Amino acid sequence: MDRSDPAPSGEPDRPSVPEQRSGEDPYLRVNDLRVRFDTSDGVVRAVDGVSFSVQRGRTLGIVGESGSGKSVTSLAVLGLHEEKRTTITGEISVGGRQLVGLPEEEVRRLRGRDMAMIFQDPLSALHPYFTVGRQIAEAYRVHHPKAGKRAARQRAVDMLGRVGIPQPARRFDQYPHEFSGGMRQRAMIAMALVNDPDLLIADEPTTALDVTVQAQILDLLADLQAEFHSAIIMITHDLGVVSQIADEVLVMYGGRAVEHGSVEQVLRRPQHPYTWGLLSSVPSLHGDADADLVPIAGNPPSLINLPSGCAFHPRCRYADRNGDRSRTEVPQLRPAGGPGHLVACHLSADDRTRLYAEDIAHVGVAR
C-alpha cells in the first residue's frame, strides 16, 4: 500500500463553523424549561429553569452526572413524557413552533421528522422481533404515507449505506441481534436520520461502545452534520466526547445550568467549581500519572430534596467564601469571562480566576 504521502502536520482545525451563520436564528430555542414529576416520594424537580438554543449545523453538548437533568431535558424537547405525572412549563420552540402545550398528535408529527433521537442503548431501542431494515423503513413511512414499500426499503438501504454499514441491502433483512454494538448504533443513527431531521438529539450515543468504535461514531456524526446541516444536542458525561464534537457546552447540576459557553470557554477557562471538579477528577493520558486525582467530595444530590441555595454547595470546596450566601441564595447564570460565557456561582470573578489557577489548572485533564 502506498503510504508515501507526507503526514499531515500541525493541529487540525476545529470543524469549520462559518462565522456568518452565527446570526442565523436558532432552530431550537428552550427558555426557562421546568420539568417536574410527581412521585410517591415527593415532587422531583428534574429540570429547574434551563435555557439554551441551538442553530442548524451546530452542536450543543449537555454535560452532567446521573440525575443532573440532562436526559430529562432532551425528553422534554421531544415530548416523550408520561403526561399524567409530568408538569412541563417554559418554552420549547422548534423551527419557530412552540411545543409546550401542543397536542400530542401534533408533537408526534414533528417527532421523527423534524427532530429525532439517538439513544444510548441500541439493543433496547431497536425491536428485537423485527428486522433492522423494516424498522427503519417504518420510521420513513410514518412520515411519508404516500411512499410505497419499495421506496421505503430503498430509502432505508440508502441510509444504512450512508452510515457506513457494509452490504446494506443484505443487512436490511437482518435482526438487531445479528449486528455488533457499533453496527447497531449506526443502524439507530440511520433510523434517526431517515427523515432528514433538522434537530438530532443524541443521548450518550457512544457510552456503551469501545473507544475505537466510539471514534468511528463521533466521526460519523460530524460527517452527517456537515452533510445534512442539522442541529445536534449531544448529551454525555464524557468531557472528552464533548471536546471532540461540541461547539457549545451546557453543564448541568441538580436540574439547573451551572455553566454555559463555547467549548473553548468551558473546557479551557472553566468558571464553575463543579466544572473544575469534573475536569480535575478525570484521569489524563498526559502529565504526572502518579499525582492524585482531585475528586468532587460527596455524591450528586437528590432531585426531590435539593440542597438550599447553590445546589452544589455541600460538595463545593469554596462554599464558605461568601458567608452564608451559597446556602441561602440560588446563584443565577451571569456573564463571566468572555462573551457568551455564563456561570451560576457566588464566587467573585477574581476569586474564580485565582482559585482555578492555584488549585485546579494543573491536575487531571484541566491541565
Partner 1 sequence: MSARNAAQRSPAVANEGQAGMSASSAAPAVAGEPLLRVRGLSKHFPVRDGLRGGGLVRAVDGLDFDVRPGETLGLVGESGCGKTTTGRMLVRLLEPTAGTIEFAGRDITHAGRRELRPLRQDLQIIFQDPYASLNPRHTVGRIVAMPLQVNGINPPGGVKARVRELLELVGLNPEHYNRYPHEFSGGQRQRIGIARALALRPKLIVADEPVSALDVSIQAQVVNLLRDLQRDLGLAFVFIAHDLAVVRHFCQRVAVMYLGRIVEIGDRVDIYERPQHPYTRALLSAIPDVTKLGPAGRIRLTGDVPTPLNPPSGCRFRTRCWKAQDICATEEPALVPRDGGRQATACHFPESGPVGAGPDAHAVATGPGARGVGTGPGATAAGVEEVSK
Q: Which residues bind partner 1 (CB under 8 A)?
A: 1, 3, 5, 7-8, 11-15, 65-66, 161-164, 180-183, 210-216, 218-220, 222-223, 226-227, 237-245, 263-264, 267-268, 277-286, 289, 292-297, 299-300, 364-365, 367
Q: Which CB sits closer to partner 1, 104 or 227? A: 227
Q: Which CB sits closer to partner 1, 8 or 96? A: 8
Centroid of chain to Cα 71: 8
* Minimum distance, C-beta of residue 290 to partner 1, in the bound complex (Å): 8
Longest dimension (CA), the chain: 69
Contacts of 323 (CB under 8 A, 6+ apart): none
Q: Which residue has the cell 413524557?
A: 81
Joined together, the cell numbers standing for residue 3 give 503510504
* Minimum distance, C-beta of residue 220 to partner 1, in the bound complex (Å): 7
Q: Would you say 252 and 68 are in contact if contact means Cβ atoms under 8 Å apart? A: yes
* Minimum distance, C-beta of residue 41 to partner 1, in the bound complex (Å): 14
* Minimum distance, C-beta of residue 264 to partner 1, in the bound complex (Å): 6
Q: Which residue has the cell 502529565?
A: 287
Distance of alpha carbon 63 from alpha carbon 239, whole angstroms: 7
Q: Which CB sits closer to partner 1, 117 or 239? A: 239
* Minimum distance, C-beta of residue 12 to partner 1, in the bound complex (Å): 4
Distance of alpha carbon 210 from alpha carbon 224, whole angstroms: 21
Q: Would you say 201 and 111 are in contact if contact means Cβ atoms under 8 Å apart? A: no
Q: Which CB sits closer to partner 1, 183 or 252? A: 183
Q: Which CB sits closer to partner 1, 80 or 226? A: 226
Joined together, the cell numbers standing for residue 242 give 464533548
Q: What is the strand order of the sheet 28-39 is part of?
A: 42-54, 28-39, 86-94, 97-98
* Minimum distance, C-beta of residue 243 to partner 1, in the bound complex (Å): 5
* Minimum distance, C-beta of residue 183 to partner 1, in the bound complex (Å): 7
Joined together, the cell numbers standing for residue 259 give 455553566
Q: Which CB sits closer to partner 1, 349 or 361? A: 361
* Minimum distance, C-beta of residue 105 to partner 1, in the bound complex (Å): 35
Output the DSSP codes for 173-239. TS-GGGS-HHHHHHHHHHHHHTT--SEEEEESTTTTS-HHHHHHHHHHHHHHHHHH--EEEEEES-H
Q: Which CB sits closer to partner 1, 157 or 239? A: 239
CA atoms within 13 A on the CB side of 200: 30
Q: Which CB sits closer to partner 1, 90 or 181? A: 181
